[in-house]
Chains A and B, each alone.
Chain A
Amino acid sequence: MTTSVVVDRLDERRPGPGDTFGGVGHPGARLLAGRPAYDGTETLAQHLDRLGIVPPPRRGAGLVDAVHDSGLGGRGGAGFPMAEKMEAAARAPGPRLVVVNASESEPASHKDRVLVHLRPHLVLDGAALAAEALSADEIVVQLHRGDPAGYGALSAAIAERTAARLDRVPVHLSVGPDRFVAGESSAVVAFLEGRPAQPRPGPRAAVSGVHGCPTLVQNAETLAHVALIARFGPDWFRAAGTPGSPGSVLVTLAGDVERPGTVLEVWGATTIGRLLVSCSRSGHATIAEIGPVPGAAVLMGGYAGAWADMARVWELPLAHDELCRAGVPLGCGLVGVLSPDGCGLVETARLLTYLATESSGQCGPCAFGLPDLAAQATALATTRVSRSAVRRLYHRTASIAGRGACSHPDGAVRLLESALETFAGDVRYHLRHGPCAGARNGVTFPVPRSSEEWR
């Protein structure tokens, strides 16, 4: 997995009138507002100079109301309303714990690691405010192994805050295995209990988390938004985004774009099309000139996300609720473009093979079903298979979804089903002629080597 931090910079962009997205320091940025620091990470002094400390009205119990009014949804993928989670944790008898989930698992997504690297104090502010509101005893920041930039920035930031006696609730860093499902909230809870970082069924962490204590597990970006909502209020927050999905949102660009790994902050009702025009590779002027390229495809929401025809999603805003309804969830905020030379079926087969090796192997339908799906998808992509093999593939997807302790198998199935729909023309070609030329043309979405560890 790459550990480099790629951030879009103001001077490298082409900001135009009405631009509603940008990188660090861009006029439209909120989470990424402020000047880019010399070494990337904003210090406590710079942070307080820029934003000041949080005023009392929205500290403590008042925070839950402010978060509720803001309509803030979780930015880890599922978009669960944060206020509901806070209320559930507040109702359950303590002691309570706040976990900052910065263990970004989607291989191509960088937004959380970029955020904790650039603005660690924003994330820690949000965690401290949530902990105060819930009368929590401890804050744990959970990172993946293989994120040294995030670890360095956070440990320095925690030291600065301790020296300044800024927070009432102690903060600890925890580093877990660099695996896909290890960032899932029940897996994070399991890891903090000293068990393998694998998802488990059972009550929500907010009600019964680490050792049975109510545990607010919240994505790093979500908590950074809380730090701003507490300062500027729910109405300010709602001025960005759409009524159904308020606030700005961090996205990571991947695949056939000018600079894969770029993290941008998007707000307003910015459409996928506008984003794609801004990031299209200079060699591929077509997107910028003629809009959605016929037959082009995008990968939305992550490697366990969904493929979609570029033209179909071109006019859709980058809003969680609307993209869910369109069947292309925003997930972790990944927006990937398939190379015109690439083959969507080959990409899908590789991603499925990766997702299969990343199953924690606890649930039979996932442990046996995903390798089976991956093998069949690989056969479809690289050999000439029969029609009945494709029918079998459809049948198999039906017997896997919804049968795991977590949503890992569901994500893999959605990826495959969306591929069979989006690349229906390629499926027909492969059935008739065998692998297409694209099958030999490089890799648009690379996968990391899977770690062997769960602890």
Chain B
Amino acid sequence: MAVTMRLVVDFTRCRGHGICTVLFAERAELDEWGFPVIDPADLDSAPLVRRARRAVVACPRGALSVETSEPR
């Protein structure tokens, strides 16, 4: 059974620094108010997961996380 991973934002922490949209531009862009819109698709390759984790570590608010879930 495959494990799926997604990058998720906790918007109660996010203050729109936007570093994720620089480090992970292929899956994150800014909305009209400066907050990230994250592509909800699975992180389905090792390089993608690596880049997502880099964005997680770089977020100054600790608002990002890689959510792991097993499909039911």
Contacts and interface: CB of A to CB of B under 8 A. Distances in A.
Given A364-B15, A364-B16, A201 B10 contact: yes
Contacts of B70: none
Contact of A399 (B10, B12, B31): B31
Interface string A29-73: 000000000000000000000000000000000000000000000
A276 interface: no
Interface in B19-42: 31-35, 37
Interface residues of B, number: 13
A269 interface: no
Contacts of B34: 364
A362 B11 CA distance: 7
B49 interface: no
B33 A404 contact: no
Nearest to B11: A363
Nearest to B38: A403
A305 interface: no
Contacts of B66: none
A396 B12 contact: no
Interface stretch (A146-154, A365-373, A420-428): A365-373
B14 interface: yes
Interface in A283-305: none
Contacts of B31: 365, 399
B37 A404 contact: no
Interface string A404-416: 1100000000000
B37 A364 contact: no
B53 to A, nearest CB: 20
A369 B31 CA distance: 10
Interface string A310-347: 00000000000000000000000000000000000000
Contacts of A405: 10-12
20 contacts: A200-B12, A201-B12, A362-B11, A363-B12, A363-B14, A364-B14, A364-B15, A364-B16, A365-B11, A365-B31, A365-B33, A365-B35, A366-B11, A368-B33, A368-B35, A369-B33, A372-B32, A403-B37, A404-B11, A405-B12
Interface of B: 9-12, 14-16, 31-35, 37
